[in-house]
C-alpha cells in the first residue's frame, strides 16, 4: 500500500465533502494495492494510514479469447467506510452532497491512458483538480 499505484492500471475515487476545503483520494490497482490520502493541495497531503485496514478490496481478473486473441479485463470493488471519507461512523449520508470524480489511468502502462467521469479542462492530465469534480447526492 501507499505505492505509485497510478503508474499501473489503476482506478481512482476523489471526493470532497460539502463545505470542506480538503479533498480525499482513494487509488487502487489491479492487485488491490491502495493509496488513500487527505489533501489540502496535490503537494500537501496526509496519508489515511489509520483507515487502510478498514477499506475492503475485491478484484476480479478475466482472461478470454476473441478471434484467437487473448483479451483481459478487470474490476475493482472497494468498500470505503464513512470515517475514511471524513464522516462520523453513525452519521447518516442520506441527502448529503459530495463533489467527486472517478478516474481510470495507467501512467506507465504499455498504452498510457487517462479517463475521467467528470471532464477535466486542463492542458495535461491532472486528477488533483477539485474544481472539475462533479456532484453526487447520497441516497
**Number of residues written out for the chain:** 139
> 55 and 34 in contact (C-beta within 8 Å)?
yes
CATH code of the domain in which 119 resides: 2.60.40.1190
The pTM (predicted TM-score) of the whole model is 0.89
137/95 Cα distance (integer angstroms) = 6
Residue 59's domain comprises 5-137
Q: How many domains does the chain have?
A: 1
Tens of each residue's pLDDT in the chain, 139 residues: 888 888 888 999 999 999 999 999 999 999 999 999 999 999 999 999 999 999 999 999 999 999 999 998 999 999 999 999 999 999 999 999 999 999 999 888 888 899 999 999 999 889 999 999 999 999 9
> 29 and 10 in contact (C-beta within 8 Å)?
yes
Amino acid at each position: 500500500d501507499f505505492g505509485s499505484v497510478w503508474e499501473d492500471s489503476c482506478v481512482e475515487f476523489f471526493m470532497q465533502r460539502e463545505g470542506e476545503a480538503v479533498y480525499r483520494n482513494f487509488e487502487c490497482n489491479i492487485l488491490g494495492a491502495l493509496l488513500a490520502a487527505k489533501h489540502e493541495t496535490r503537494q500537501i497531503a496526509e496519508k489515511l494510514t489509520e483507515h487502510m485496514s478498514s477499506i475492503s478490496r475485491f478484484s476480479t481478473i478475466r482472461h478470454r479469447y476473441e478471434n484467437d486473441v487473448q483479451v483481459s479485463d478487470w474490476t475493482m470493488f472497494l468498500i470505503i467506510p464513512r470515517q475514511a471519507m471524513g464522516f462520523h461512523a453513525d452519521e447518516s449520508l442520506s441527502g448529503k452532497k459530495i463533489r467527486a470524480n472517478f478516474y481510470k489511468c495507467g501512467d506507465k502502462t504499455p498504452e498510457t491512458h487517462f479517463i475521467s467521469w467528470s471532464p477535466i479542462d486542463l492542458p495535461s492530465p491532472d486528477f488533483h483538480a477539485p474544481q472539475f469534480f462533479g456532484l453526487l447526492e447520497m441516497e
